[in-house]
């Protein structure tokens, strides 16, 4: 691809079985267009199929924004459908089936669809200049990419409703105080902190991590009886893995386990 048309999304393998994914449209505040949606959709499929990738960090290029949501130029041109994929929903991401943990490394404001992308991730590291908001009602729109039901799950109901109904954002500092953000760090440490958090995950048995995440993601959606059944199924899958044998053996032999992810 020529220098005048760089990839809309960058993909990089990092140590410790971690992949780094970067929204790469800084001139457009990393807004989502069709190229971003198709690229993220493909990257999710790639990371899911790759047994050597156990966690993914998602960030934005530059310091102006993590993601400004939908590219309004695309919307105005009648290409809104291009911003969604069949399997992933908005940005090819927000409704995608993902078994591996994703960490949002929020390098600036995440608004509208940008906040919805963050909400679709599992953990969040952010810089103080970041902010989160669903301003759709200011333009006679609704946050259709998961924000209306995911935001009240991660924030106190009254705070989430105020954000949804007024369209006003909150700062990363307040989001951190309210539990939406796991780490609030200086900009120069953002990726290091996100990678360190990912490494703290990938030091664990990958199958156990994926199965634990599978149940935990549904904790607010299902009654206890269904969650118990899911937990039992996940436990059986973990017990059937090679790593289930490796964990106790490494403990007995007083060494670090050598996980295979199988």
This prediction has a pTM of: 0.94
Same-domain check for residues 78 and 123: yes
Same-domain check for residues 144 and 196: yes
Helix axes of 113-120 and 147-154: crossing angle, nearest 10 degrees: 60
Same-domain check for residues 213 and 190: no
Cα–Cα distance for residue pair 193/49, rounded to 1 Å: 26
H-run or E-run covering 184: strand 183-184
Annotated active-site residue 232? The verdict is no
Choosing from 74, 116, 193, 211, the catalytic residue is 116
- Is residue 261 one of the residues assigned to a domain? no
Cα–Cα distance for residue pair 91/120, rounded to 1 Å: 11
Annotated active-site residue 136? The verdict is yes
pLDDT of 205 above 60: yes
pLDDT of 169 above 70: yes
Choosing from 12, 48, 86, 136, the catalytic residue is 136
Query: What digits encode the pLDDT tens for the residues 223-250?
Result: 999 999 999 999 999 999 988 988 888 8
- Is residue 88 one of the residues assigned to a domain? yes
Same-domain check for residues 49 and 77: yes
Same-domain check for residues 211 and 130: no
- Is residue 51 one of the residues assigned to a domain? yes
Mean pLDDT of the chain, nearest integer: 94
Same-domain check for residues 65 and 189: yes
Residue 2: band (very low, low, confident or very high) from pLDDT cuts 50, 70, 90: very low
Which residues span the domain enclosing 40?
A: 9-202
């Amino acid at each position: 691809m020529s220098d005048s048309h760089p990839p809309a999304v960058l993909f990089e393998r990092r140590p410790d079985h971690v992949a780094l994914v970067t929204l790469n449209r800084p001139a457009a505040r990393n807004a989502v267009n069709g190229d971003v949606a198709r690229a993220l959709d493909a990257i999710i499929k790639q990371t899911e199929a790759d047994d050597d990738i156990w966690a993914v960090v998602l960030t934005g290029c530059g310091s102006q924004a993590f993601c400004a949501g939908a590219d309004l130029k695309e919307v105005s041109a009648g290409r809104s459908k291009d911003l969604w994929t069949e399997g992933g929903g908005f940005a090819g991401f927000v409704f995608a089936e993902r078994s591996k943990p994703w960490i949002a490394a929020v390098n600036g404001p995440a608004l509208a669809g940008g906040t919805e992308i963050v909400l679709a991730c599992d953990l969040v590291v952010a810089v103080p200049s970041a902010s989160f908001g669903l301003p759709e009602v200011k333009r006679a729109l609704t946050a259709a990419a998961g924000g209306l039901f995911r935001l009240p799950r991660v924030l106190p109901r009254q705070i989430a409703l105020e954000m949804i109904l007024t369209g006003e954002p909150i700062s990363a500092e307040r989001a951190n105080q309210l539990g939406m953000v796991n780490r609030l760090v200086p900009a120069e440490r953002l990726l290091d902190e996100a990678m360190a958090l990912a490494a703290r995950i990938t030091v664990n048995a990958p199958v156990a991590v994926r199965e634990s995440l599978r149940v935990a993601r549904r904790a607010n959606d299902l009654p206890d009886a269904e969650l118990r059944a899911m937990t039992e199924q996940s436990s059986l899958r973990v017990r059937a893995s090679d790593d289930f044998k490796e964990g106790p053996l490494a403990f007995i032999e007083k060494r670090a386990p050598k996980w295979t992810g199988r």
